[in-house]
Structure formats: C-alpha cells, structure tokens
Amino acid sequence: MSIVPRLFELYRQRGFTVVSGLNPTHWRGLNSAPFTWLMRDGRSYTNGLGIALQEVFFLESLFSHYHPRRLFVIGNSFGWSAVTLALLNPAAEIVAIDAGFDEYASDGLDLTNAIARAAGLKLTAVKGVSPQDVAGTLARSFDQPVDFAFIDGYHSNEQIVLDFRAIRPHASPDAVYLFHDAHEFDLYEGLARIEAESGLELRRLLATPSGMAVAYPAALAATLAPTLDVFAPDAAALAMISRAAWRHAHPTRAKYTRSALKRLNTIRGWIGKPPLPLP
C-alpha cells in the first residue's frame, strides 16, 4: 500500500495544503509545478519545494526491495523528503540536517520533529551545515555507519562533492547515495568527480522530474536494478525522445528538414548508401 495518503495527511493535520505532481505543460511550462508545495494562509512555506510525487513513487519502488538501516539527509527544509524516507523505512533510523539559511527553515526543523513524534517515526531533524557539521552529527546520531544518504542541499558541483566527501568516511562500504536535482542544476561535473574518486557506479534517473542521480557499489547492482532500470531510461530511447522534443520546439524547421532529408535519402538509396535518420 502506498504511503502517499498518509504522507499528505501528516502535513494536512498541521494546517498545510499540499500540492504535488502537477504537469508543467498545464501550468504555462512552470518547471517547479511537479514538485511539492506546502501552503498555509495564502503563502508557500517551501522555498526549495519538496521532492515530486513521482520521486516519492521512485523511493517506494526502491525501498520495496532494498532496506537500509541508517539514513542521512542533507537538506531538510520542511521535512517532506525525510518524512517520506521514514514512512518507507519504519524500522530504520533517519537523521536530517538543514543549514537554516532559507526563510522558514527553522520552522521546518520544528515541524519535521513534531510530525515524527506524532507519527512515531524514528526521524530527527537538526540544524547543521555541510560539510563542517556532518561528522559531528553522524557521530552523535548513529553508533554504526550510514548506509543510505540523500543529498539535497545547496545545488552546485562543488557542494555535492563536499557533501559526499563529508559522508563517505562515516558510511558503510555498501552505502547508496541519492542526489536530487542533478539534471535540473546540471550537476554532472560534480557527479563525474564523485564517480571517479569513489569507484561507485552512477546512474542518471532521468525519469524523475528533477533528474536525480544515484551512486552505489557494484555489489548492489542486481538489488537496485528492478527500480533503476525503470527510472534510468535507455540512452537510445532518450535520443528518440530528444528528437521528438526538437520537432515539437521547431515544427516549421523540422517539417522542411524532414522533407529535404527524405529527398537526400532517396538519392543515397540510388547509390547504395544507408539513409540518414530523420529529425
């Protein structure tokens, strides 16, 4: 059974209207439409917004066959991701940190802890800045290494490397690292550095609205495959979709380009050459 109804209800009980999973094309191309908005008294309380409904579905699928025991979150905001992780891993311990720099961030920490207490979740949210506060927080919170980390703090290539390096010495060898907004903020240079220095495998989860990415040890490849194969589409398939997107964005140019290529391919066929792909 999905955790989504209970997740929504936990925030509604605190007076929030929750909206998540909207289609951007129905809202004038608003990129943030799919993500989770928490609103009360005519205001949005989530500066960075929460993970999208489709990303909650990704986590439901992931944790249906992969069961970490100690989870760590960088970037708590109003706790939407942390509460999601706690609901999906009720036997695990979860700790989330937030720097408190955003408006309402301190309220978000209090809200997260209040929800966790009321729902009986093994979740604690604390104020802390990555990377400098990571080691101390982990030492105080866990008596064994972390085996899952969700990195959703400041979105820059430099910062995600710092976040990863801060967690890695306190993580188990088979720990999994999930990065939010990797495609949205073009974090691939930082991810490439993490992949090169860690030896972990990396997959881009482009079937999530933010374009998440995951790094994991090869030993867990078979365990994670049922979910990753769904949310990390094949490169050839993505190339076809990219061409369809180009045609959608440039309909007139696509029409005349296709017409010209069809004529060219006819000529190529006469001389024994293979056809060129149509846009």
Domain ranges across the chain? 48-231, 235-270
Run of H or E residues at 26: none
Interatomic CA distance for residues 177 and 170, integer angstroms: 13
Q: Tell me what the pLDDT averaged over the chain comes to.
A: 93
Query: Would you call 124 helix, strand, or coil by DSSP?
Result: strand
Question: How would you classify the pairing of strands 17-19 and 37-40?
Answer: antiparallel
Q: What is the CATH number of domain 48-231?
A: 3.40.50.150
How confident is the model at residue 239, as a pLDDT?
A: 85
Q: Does residue 121 have a pLDDT over 90? A: yes
Query: 269 versus 195: which is more confidently predicted?
Result: 195
**Residue 176's pLDDT band (cuts 50, 70, 90):** very high
How confident is the model at residue 134, as a pLDDT?
A: 98
pLDDT digits over 225-276, tens only?
999 999 999 988 888 888 888 787 777 775 657 766 777 688 788 888 888 7
How confident is the model at residue 115, as a pLDDT?
A: 98
How confident is the model at residue 171, as a pLDDT?
A: 98
Q: By percentage, how much of the chain surpasses pLDDT 70?
A: 97
Structure tokens at 68: 């970490």
How confident is the model at residue 256, as a pLDDT?
A: 59
Interatomic CA distance for residues 31 and 24, integer angstroms: 6
Q: What are the φ/ψ torsions at residue 125 (nearest 5 degrees)?
A: -115, 130
Q: Determine the Cα angle at 106 with ends 211 and 184, to 5°.
A: 15
How confident is the model at residue 138, as a pLDDT?
A: 98
